[in-house]
A and B are shown apart, each in its own frame.
Chain A
Amino acid sequence: MRSGEKKPDLDSDLSKRLLGGRPLSRRQFLKTAGVAGAAIGLGTGVGGLLAGCGDGGSSGTTGASGDVIKIGIMGPMADPTGMNVLRPAEMMIKKINAAGGIIGKQIEIVGPIDDHWETAQAITAYETLLKEGVHVILSGSDDNVESALLSRIGQNPDVLYLSMFASTQGHMVNVRDDYEKFKGYFMFTAIDDGLYYCVEEPAIMLKEKFGWNKAYMIREDMVWTEGIEQYFKDSAPQKGFEIVGIDVVPLDVEDLTPYFRNAEKAGAQMIWTMISVFGEKLANQAWDSKVPIAMFGHNGILNDYGYWERSNGAWGPMATTSTWGSLEKHSPEWRDFLTEWFTTYSDDPRTPMWLGECTWRGIKAYQEAVERAGTIETDAVIKELEMTYYPDAPVAGGFYGPGEGIWPHTWAMPIDEAERAKADPTRGEGLWMSSTLNPMTQWQPKEIAPADSFVLPGTPDDYGRLVTIWPPALAGGEYQLPPFFPESPNA
């Protein structure tokens, strides 16, 4: 030992730290590893609890008041999903209040309360909002989480629950079969069959253009995709597609390469993706793996403006429910709203994914319903909400009431195209279907995107363009083959 060097303290040396100097026994290791496993498993929950401290409650004045309309916000708020409910609400409510409110009443935002994608915390969030005396809840909770809220929603029919995320048909069975209990529930995302057909329709377009007919489905392991798989099995063969495989992917998937490989080995020419959570991961990995198969579907946050930068321009797969592609084709109202959103916030999400557009429709629909009713009394507002119809919305459609069709209170549209153009189309049994008009979009490099694509102010010149390729009314360009496709002109 060198002079001046501290003598080791044998009382506190490592052998003592090694559990009293004894060998690390199997039981001790198991005990510790077991606690570790439990802690990891609970990690998100604990993190959620920690993160949840301090949120919730009213962000403005508290206490019920006849002059205030309280709108509660809940959802996964640390995620772009929740922000797609909060941001449009903040922007729109600020404007509504500045213009004098709705029928003279100011709107107060209660929350947002984070559900952390978890059932228990969503129940707490929902009940907290009820205690705060909200009149309306704008919810970004996902299908699985919302399933657990349904019984509570049924017990509180006087509080409007505007669902922005969920699409599960099973939720709407409640409204159809037990209207009085569930009259306050409105689903702004298209119900399952609408979400299916807004993928199948562009698939038909690609089949006709490229001759591709071998279809493969990759769906996330969530309740909403189960119904869609059934539609796929039933409908796709009738439209001339050969189903060559289906994969169900867990939500916490890391590596999607094996699924791409399965599709390649099955001879797939198209991969239909039904994903709300890991679409961005899928797009990145498909680009890196150079998967020469057209890939498109509900890829969730792949739609967001920041994707191009985050992914270093990985533009292979397409995403539907993207409501800000080819903005030059949209109504000035929506384009202006998007521009305002983009310039108001400097961090992602700077443009909406589908929930953002749902929330925009939701707040507009509520405002107009209250103004038409002249009151915030729930039954009167519900009756007016059931008359909502927006032919100019990015996802055109509206609601109908009980006795007017199969799925009252789901976002739907007339089957007859001529009827769709009317401000107040005829409602009735067999006349409407779930809206299939979610736009299918593809990120394209500036060099191959249409030159007249609308560019949000401040976008870097070399940034990608989000181009809508379907439906025809909103399409600003055509599908471009990624450079690693054998026949691609963009190689």
Chain B
Amino acid sequence: MNSAITTYHESPGQSFLAGESTVVSAGTPPSEAGRTLLARLRAGDEGAFGELVDKHHGALIRMALSHVADREVAEEVVQDTWIAVIEGLSRFEGRSSLRTWIFGILIHKAKDRGVREKRHRTFSAFDSHEDDHDEALDPSRFHQSGEWAGHWAFPPQPWDDQTPEKLLASQQAVAAMQRAIDALPVTLKEVLILRDVDGLESQEVCELLKITETNLYVRLHRARERVRRAVEVYLEGMVPEAV
């Protein structure tokens, strides 16, 4: 594990990455709960640190996997992130939320590791990029011409009120959703994980990824649609009473 001393600091309004090993986060102020947690961390409360790890570890792993190809490497990147958090905590001034700061460190480390990995890899599906001209939804589902051009030709079949909880209770459905997330290009996966899986505010996501709100919603919708489509395909393969 690389636990070399690395300096992380905040500086509102400046570049997110000010240097090779410097992370700068800005913007979204911490909540009351965030300030309380930070005070406990600064007081050396080991339980508070454990809570922080429990709360964010899963999302950090998924975020790291957006940039590196294998789970073991993602674990190393996240471990390095936590070490950097521990080392940098005394210098963290709370001008951004703790969560934004931690994700900023992770993204920097994961991108750096991903770049180094790519130097040793040939082309693979992992390197796929999102084409900005791609449609969110298959255009053939809409009428292409005539009075109803742009309106549904093949609308989605309704789900009943219990469908979401049945999906969550089904290992196959959860696996189908996770496969759909894994298959997303990095630009879509990172917004989906930050916004929907870990629940960051849209402003925080834009700050971390340095993208506009318009761009965020274009990417986020494409990502959500691909997961929705995976569920649609899963449901089409089920007997009608099953879900």
Query: Is A bound to B?
Result: no
Chain B residues within CB distance 8 Å of chain A: none
